[in-house]
Structure 1
Amino acid sequence: MKVLLTGGSGMVGRAILAHDAAREMQIVAPTSAELDLTDRSAVMAALAAEKPDVIIHSAGRVGGIQANIAHPAAFLSENMDMGFNLVLAAREADVPRLLNLGSSCMYPHDAPNPLQEDSLGKGELEPTNEGYGLAKVAVARLCAFTTRERPDLAYKTIIPCNLYGLYDKFDPAVSHLVPAIIRKLHEARENRAETVEIWGDGTARREFMYSGDLADGVWTAVKRFDDLPGCMNMGLGYDYSINEYYEEAAKVIGFNGGFTHDLSRPTGMKQKLLAVESQTAFGWQPQTLLRDGIARTYEFFLDVVERGAA
């Protein structure tokens, strides 16, 4: 099977490429320098030349709360351009299958938890990442509309929960919660700090899955594409508070200090937990425990520090 993977140099893309199932496939994974997904003519030319059996779309502009608040227009326009160009070019090239990776940011901020797939598009998005969420919703709908109009094309969307893992971003300006915690606690331990500050009161709950587990889910979906629903959540089915992520990471890293809370800082949605009934019916579930995933990610972070890249 010939697979075209976008975002192959990102955290999710690298996890997909590192999975054992990738060895069974013929994979084309152009970098952004090799294929600019915001250039529709370039995307159309690439798909016409490669003629993949399936596309896995994992590329995108991503970042944490700070980055999303600072650059909402870029998160909206760049992610929408990339997704629309790829889906429309795939349709033009008659690519039979496309697996689009969405985001839990697609769900309305007031939707009841656990978040069910049928609540998409039925309310306002969380303001702190609205641009990113809008783009992801639009691309998912374009996939669904394409399949509705062209039943010979199966374009489906997986909606992962929040992710962390190897090749994550540890820069505080763009990092998500778990890598940000890892860096903050590592530096606190190195500097022998007595306390570490947590934004908000730490009671907001989040569901973070190890990226290697998502890669396993993606390849399972590719191999069993006909069994996959048109839109399906992919997550743990349970969550932890922000305080619990700090506590678990502190145990792994060896930080023995205390925690303070800055109540003036934004915390986002109080909870964002995905419903996993469809995933369970599909027959897949993640395997990595939180402590094990944090330990693997911390080992990678230490390698990054040694290389002077952090």
Structure 2
Amino acid sequence: MKILLTGGSGMVGRNLQQHALAGQHQLLAPSSKELNLFDAKQVQQWLSENQPDLIIHAAGRVGGIQANMREPVRFLTENLDMGQNLVLAARASGIKRLLNIGSSCMYPRNREGALQESDILTGELEPTNEGYALAKITVARLCDYISRETPEFIYRTIIPCNLYGAFDKFDPRWSHLIPAILHKLHQAKLNGEASVEIWGDGTARREFMFAEDLCEAMSACIERFDELPDYMNVGLGYDYMVNEYYQAAAEVVGYTGTFHFDLTKPVGMARKLTDVSRATSFGWTASHSLKEGLSKTYQYYLDYLKQG
């Protein structure tokens, strides 16, 4: 198949281009200069000229809690504009299959149990990333509405849990939890720091999946696309405390100091765990352990530092 991949320069996109999938299909990953998703006319023209068999929409403005709190307007408008322009142009161009990459930020905050796909729009969103979540929900619903109106258009959304891995962002201004932890611990080790700060008390729970596992899931989705439900969580189905991520990462990095807590800092949702029943029924489960994923990511980080 000829597959359009948006967001080819991002973490998910770059991992996917190194996956076996890229050798099995013709994967088109134009740069933002070649395909500006903010320009609806250009998107329409590109799709009309290239006519991909399937679209994977992985492009997005992403960042950690600090970035989302600092620039909510940007996270809302940019993600909404990119998604809306692409999905509507795909329909206008007669492209029948589209795989939209959602986010677990789409779910209501502070739910006790695992988050099921039917929970979307049933409660208040987490304020620290509300703009990003609203954009992701809207684009996912747009895909759903198109498929309802015209069932021959199979537009599906998979909802990954939090991700980490090669090609992640390690700059503290933009990084998510795990790359931020690896960077912080590496610097603390180099500088001989006796203690490292953790935001909050470290008991908040998070589900982080290694990015290569998402690529495996996406490959399975593409091969059996017509079997996909409208929405499907792609995650581990289990989580760890923030403190446990710090402890596991310290072992990988070789940091032997202690940790201290800043209870004045925001920590986001107390827990965000996805229910993976649909993915399990679809026949997919993640394969990397936390230690395996952290070790591969830390090696990438070391290579990244060497490259300057």
Which interval holds the TM-score relative to the shorter structure?
A: over 0.9
Decide whether the 8 Å contact of 1:73 with 1:131 is kept in 2. yes
Shift of 1:112: 3.6
1:55 aligns with 2:61: no
Task: Show structure 2 runs of 5+ residues with no match.
Answer: none
Aligned residue in 1 for 2:225:
225
Aligned residue in 2 for 1:134:
134
Decide whether the 8 Å contact of 2:111 with 2:272 is kept in 1. no
Shift of 1:18: 0.8
Decide whether the 8 Å contact of 1:8 with 1:31 is kept in 2. yes
Equivalent residue runs for 1:160-175 within 5 Å? 160-175=160-175
Aligned residue in 1 for 2:106:
106
Aligned residue in 2 for 1:205:
205
Aligned residue in 2 for 1:196:
196
For residues 146-170 of structure 1, what are the alpha-carbon distances to aligned partners after superposition, in whole Å with 9 as ceiling and x for unaligned?
A: 0011111000000000000000000
Decide whether the 8 Å contact of 2:200 with 2:263 is kept in 1. yes
Q: SS of the residue aligned with 1:108?
A: coil
| Residues in 2 aligned to 1:87 and 1:236: alpha-carbon distance in whole angstroms | 28
Aligned residue in 2 for 1:38:
38
Shift of 1:21: 2.0
For residues 32-65 of structure 1, what are the alpha-carbon distances to aligned partners after superposition, in whole Å with 9 as ceiling and x for unaligned?
A: 1211101100100010011011000000000000
For residues 243-282 of structure 1, what are the alpha-carbon distances to aligned partners after superposition, in whole Å with 9 as ceiling and x for unaligned?
A: 0000000000000000000000000000000001101100
Q: Where in structure 1 do 4 or more consecutive aligned residues deviate above 3 Å?
A: none
Aligned residue in 2 for 1:237:
237
Amino acid in structure 1 at the alignment position of 2:103: S
| Residues in 1 aligned to 2:149 and 2:36: alpha-carbon distance in whole angstroms | 27
| Residues in 1 aligned to 2:85 and 2:112: alpha-carbon distance in whole angstroms | 32
Aligned residue in 2 for 1:96:
96
Decide whether the 8 Å contact of 1:110 with 1:123 is kept in 2. no
Decide whether the 8 Å contact of 2:114 with 2:273 is kept in 1. yes
1:303 aligns with 2:303: yes
Amino acid in structure 2 at the alignment position of 1:170: F
| Residues in 2 aligned to 1:109 and 1:103: alpha-carbon distance in whole angstroms | 13
Amino acid in structure 1 at the alignment position of 2:195: T
| Residues in 2 aligned to 1:158 and 1:38: alpha-carbon distance in whole angstroms | 23
| Residues in 2 aligned to 1:290 and 1:99: alpha-carbon distance in whole angstroms | 27
| Residues in 2 aligned to 1:169 and 1:194: alpha-carbon distance in whole angstroms | 25
Q: SS of the residue aligned with 1:46?
A: helix
Amino acid in structure 2 at the alignment position of 1:108: P
Decide whether the 8 Å contact of 2:103 with 2:161 is kept in 1. yes
Decide whether the 8 Å contact of 2:110 with 2:270 is kept in 1. no
| Residues in 1 aligned to 2:113 and 2:71: alpha-carbon distance in whole angstroms | 28
Shift of 1:113: 2.3
Amino acid in structure 2 at the alignment position of 1:20: A
Shift of 1:110: 3.5
Decide whether the 8 Å contact of 1:111 with 1:123 is kept in 2. no
Amino acid in structure 1 at the alignment position of 2:166: L
| Residues in 1 aligned to 2:28 and 2:167: alpha-carbon distance in whole angstroms | 20
Equivalent residue runs for 1:265-280 within 5 Å? 265-280=265-280
| Residues in 2 aligned to 1:169 and 1:208: alpha-carbon distance in whole angstroms | 15
Aligned residue in 1 for 2:119:
119
Aligned residue in 2 for 1:2:
2
Decide whether the 8 Å contact of 2:111 with 2:271 is kept in 1. no
Aligned residue in 2 for 1:254:
254
| Residues in 1 aligned to 2:141 and 2:282: alpha-carbon distance in whole angstroms | 21
* TM, length-normalised to structure 1: 0.98
| Residues in 2 aligned to 1:111 and 1:177: alpha-carbon distance in whole angstroms | 20
- Overall identity of the aligned pairs, in %: 56
Amino acid in structure 2 at the alignment position of 1:138: T
Shift of 1:27: 1.1
Q: SS of the residue aligned with 1:23?
A: helix
Amino acid in structure 1 at the alignment position of 2:108: P
| Residues in 2 aligned to 1:282 and 1:143: alpha-carbon distance in whole angstroms | 20
| Residues in 1 aligned to 2:6 and 2:113: alpha-carbon distance in whole angstroms | 31
